């Protein structure tokens, strides 16, 4: 009776064990990673469905075979594994067990691929086995290689780019700067440049760049900025700056700052602008720019109630100068007269060529009396000038003061009328209208 009970108990235990093994086998077959169990000789004792798909060997072909079937010969993984596993069996220690290794595996059809192997130890019936979990990481390695190549290309591009490139973290610390930045700013080294904090450096704060960078970092929006800048190394330069936030998983971690030296373009723009507002012969302002300044002054005095005046001047008998000495000499006379006139007026005054030998002066914050005094000084100075090969040249002056209701046309007309009165009075004199 005891024997029958013992046999019955044993059958039940064997049944339970069989059921557990079946369940475990089913679970292991369902996982996505390849799983192989090796005995203490390195021979395969278990091989799940994922392993069959990964390596191409069905279970019946691989069971009892050793590891070298699955490893590219030059990887030497089999030898490494054997030594490490024997050491583990003897000492219970070893850096192969519990570690993740990468190696090139080979498929049954001969192609190779990169896998990641994780080994753990398991005792079965007083014998140590190793459980290997294998994952195909070929795509991941390719992505890593592509990312590495991409980063390398990026670095090559940034280093050879014709523009300056700076990368900073969220706190404004510079983490990367290319060589062109040093040339643009006149910096002595990358290390020196990296000492600048883009959010706190006084020169950048003063020019508003730090504030704009801070706004870009907070709002995750790009921005463009132009500044006339003098670097800490003393180089003066016009910069166009483009700020673009850098993100990691939708979180702003810093910014890429692209700086372009636009000094030549700005200088050209300034020259073109100067050409557009000046008279090419005398280098004083032209009629169009004068009208613009006069319109602005009229709007200003409408708000402030202050005064301004206008002087119109015309070179006397200038046609005779051209007829007698030639147009080149006449041009020289005009340039000489304007050069002397500029010396007598203020920086806030606007001197322009109105047309031919007529010139006009806008005098902000100037009453009719003060304008007349200036007209007399100019008249006297010109009449005493001795121009080489020409002698003395005089001019007639008309002065008018702005009054409420005046427009550009009316105040210019009043000054022009007074100038013609001066000519009618014998020239080389000043006439003005007091309203």
- Catalytic machinery residues: 357
Reduced 3-state DSSP string for the chain:
CHHHHHHHHHHHHHHHHHHHHHHHHHHHHHCCCEEEEECCCCEEEEECHHHHHHHCCCHHHHCCCEHHHHECHHHCHHHHHHHHHHHHHHHCCCCCCCCEEEEEEECCCCCEEEEEEEEEEEEECCEEEEEEEEEECHHHHHHHHHHHHHHHHHHHHHHHCCCEEEEEECCCEEEEECHHHHHHHCCCCHHHHHCCECCCCHHHHHCCHHHHHHHHHHHCCCEEEEEEEECCCCCEEEEEEEEEEEEECCEEEEEEEEEEECHHHHHHHHHHHHHHHECCCCCCECHHHHHHHHHHHHHHHHHHCCCEEEEEEEECCHHHHHHHHCHHHHHHHHHHHHHHHHHHCCCCCEEEEEECCEEEEEEECCCHHHHHHHHHHHHHHHHCCCECCCECCCEEEEEEECCCCCCHHHHHHHHHHHHHHHHHCCCCCEEEECC
Give the orientation angle of helix 287-304 with respect to helix 263-277, to 10 degrees.
90
The β-bridge partners of 165 are 258
Whole-number CA gyration radius for the chain: 46
């Amino acid at each position: 009776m005891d024997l029958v009970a013992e046999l019955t108990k044993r059958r039940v235990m064997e049944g339970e064990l069989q059921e557990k093994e079946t369940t475990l086998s089913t679970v292991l077959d369902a996982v996505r990673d390849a799983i192989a169990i090796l005995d203490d000789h390195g021979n395969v004792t278990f091989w799940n469905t994922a392993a069959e798909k990964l390596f191409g060997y069905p279970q019946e072909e691989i069971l009892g075979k050793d590891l070298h079937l699955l490893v590219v010969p030059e990887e030497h993984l089999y030898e490494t594994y054997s030594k490490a596993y024997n050491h583990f069996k003897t000492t219970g220690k070893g850096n192969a067990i519990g570690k993740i290794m990468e190696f090139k595996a080979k498929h049954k059809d001969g192609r190779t691929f990169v896998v990641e192997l994780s080994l753990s130890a398991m005792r079965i019936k007083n014998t140590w086995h190793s459980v290997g979990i294998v994952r195909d990481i070929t795509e991941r390695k390719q992505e890593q290689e592509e990312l590495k190549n991409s980063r390398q290309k990026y670095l090559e591009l940034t280093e050879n780019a014709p523009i300056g490139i700076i990368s900073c973290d969220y706190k404004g610390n510079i983490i990367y700067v290319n060589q062109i930045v040093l040339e643009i700013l006149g910096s002595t080294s990358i290390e020196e440049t990296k000492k600048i904090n883009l959010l706190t450096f006084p020169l950048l704060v003063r020019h508003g760049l730090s504030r704009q960078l801070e706004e870009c970092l907070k709002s995750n929006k790009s921005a463009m900025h132009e500044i006339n800048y003098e670097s800490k190394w003393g180089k003066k330069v016009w910069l166009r700056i483009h700020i673009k936030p850098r993100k990691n998983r939708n979180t702003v971690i810093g910014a890429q700052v692209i700086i372009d030296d636009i000094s030549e373009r700005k200088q050209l723009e300034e020259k073109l602008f100067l050409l557009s507002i000046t008279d090419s012969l005398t280098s004083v302002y032209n009629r169009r720019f004068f009208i613009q300044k006069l319109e602005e002054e009229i709007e200003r005095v409408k708000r402030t109630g202050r005064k301004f005046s206008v002087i119109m001047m015309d070179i006397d008998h200038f046609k005779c100068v051209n007829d007698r000495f030639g147009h080149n000499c006449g041009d020289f006379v005009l340039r000489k007269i304007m050069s002397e006139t500029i010396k007598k007026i203020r920086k806030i005054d606007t001197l322009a060529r109105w047309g031919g030998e007529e010139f006009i002066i806008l005098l902000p914050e100037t009453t009719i009396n003060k304008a007349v005094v200036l007209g007399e000084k100019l008249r006297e100075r010109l009449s005493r000038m001795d121009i080489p090969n020409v002698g003395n040249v005089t001019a007639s002056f008309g002065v008018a003061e702005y009054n409420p209701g005046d427009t550009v046309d009316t105040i210019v007309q009043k000054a022009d009328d007074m100038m013609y009165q001066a000519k009618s009075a014998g020239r080389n004199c000043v006439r003005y209208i007091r309203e």
